Amino acid sequence: MSEWKAKRFWKEALVVPTEGGFTVELDGRGVKTPAKRALHVPTHAMAAVIAQEWSAQQDAINPNTMPATKTANAAIDKVSQQHAEVAEMLAAYGDSDLLCYRADTPEELVARQAEQWDPILEWAAEVLDAPLLTRTGVMHIPQDPVVIEKLSQRTHALDKFELAAFHDLVGMSGSLVLGFAAALDVKTADELWAISRLDELWQEEQWGEDEDATALAETKRIAFIHAKRMFDLAQA
């Protein structure tokens, strides 16, 4: 038996202004989230991208080709209902941030981590007022609670659409600092993604690529870049 798939039923998808934002209508019918909430987004630019995804659907609807719609749905159905919990979970990354845990050998890896990660931590200390200390090894050593509280306040201040995108920026990179660096355009999303994969890229140089791991990393890279785009669209 073939799997049932939702079929395209509309002729055009249009961006329509709403009170405090925008929505997408399919032949005059407003798009709903999976939880049956109205899909209202904060900017015309975000709504336009979502409308393009709906317009691009062919006979059967393929959610995998609609990443902006999925992120907006997550913001409305999930993040808006658990904003404080999501923000606190992401803020906790700061206490064990990827950029703070360093190798002690070999010298080449130690030097590369310092070269690529130290400038980002220096930026966080200056711009975010969040000086984080580095550690050698993998044993967790707590950061200054005052610093973590500052990062937590910044995270809680994000609105539901920003936080939904920020969730992926932090979760996929393993770094709250890199998440903020992406959000604030310290470097391009591609550059920051490569920085987050420094250790994996080092291993590839030593032992060669694993095809499955490389394919998975590419999928995550695309998702990371999408998350950055959605963060920007929430403010466009």
Are 68 and 116 members of one domain?
A: no
pLDDT at 3 over 90: no
Distances in whole angstroms, Cα of residue 216 to Cα of each of 195, 201, 210, 212, 221: 17, 13, 10, 6, 9
Question: What pLDDT is recorded for position 215?
Answer: 94
Return d(Cα 232, Cα 236) in angstroms, integer.
6
- Tokens 């845990």 locate to 101
Which pTM does this prediction carry? Answer: 0.94
List C-alpha distances in Å: 25 to 28, 75, 76. 5, 19, 17
Any bridge partners for residue 102, and if so which? 136
In a domain? residue 8: no
What are the structure tokens assigned to 73, written together? 């749905």
Whether pLDDT at 107 is above 60:
yes
pLDDT at residue 1, as a whole number? 36
pLDDT tens-place string over residues 182-233: 999 999 999 999 999 999 999 999 998 888 989 999 999 999 999 999 999 9
In the chain, how many domains are there? 2
The whole-number pLDDT of residue 199 equals 96
Q: What is the pLDDT of residue 5?
A: 59
Tens digit of each residue's pLDDT (9 = 90 or more) over 54-98 = 999 988 889 999 999 999 999 999 999 999 999 999 999 999 999
Helix (H, G, I), strand (E, B) or coil at 119: helix
Is 210 within a domain?
yes
CATH number at residue 61: 3.30.2180.10
Phi, psi of 214, rounded to the nearest 5 degrees: -65, -40
Q: Is residue 2 part of a domain?
A: no
Please give the pLDDT value at position 9.
86
pLDDT digits (tens, 9 = 90+) for 160-169: 999 999 999 9
Task: Look up the CATH number of the domain holding residue 152.
Answer: 1.10.3580.10
Tokens standing for residue 86: 């999501």
SS3 content of the chain, % helix, strand, coil (to 5): 60, 10, 30
Question: How does pLDDT run across 19-62, given as a tens digit for each residue?
Answer: 989 999 999 999 999 999 999 999 999 999 999 999 999 888 89
Q: For the purposes of burial, counting CB atoms within 10 Å of the CB of 19, is it exposed (0-12), middle (13-18) or buried (19 or more)?
A: exposed
Give residue 195's pLDDT. Answer: 98
Burial class (CB in 10 A: 0-12, 13-18, 19+), 138: exposed
Rg, Å, the chain Cα set: 20
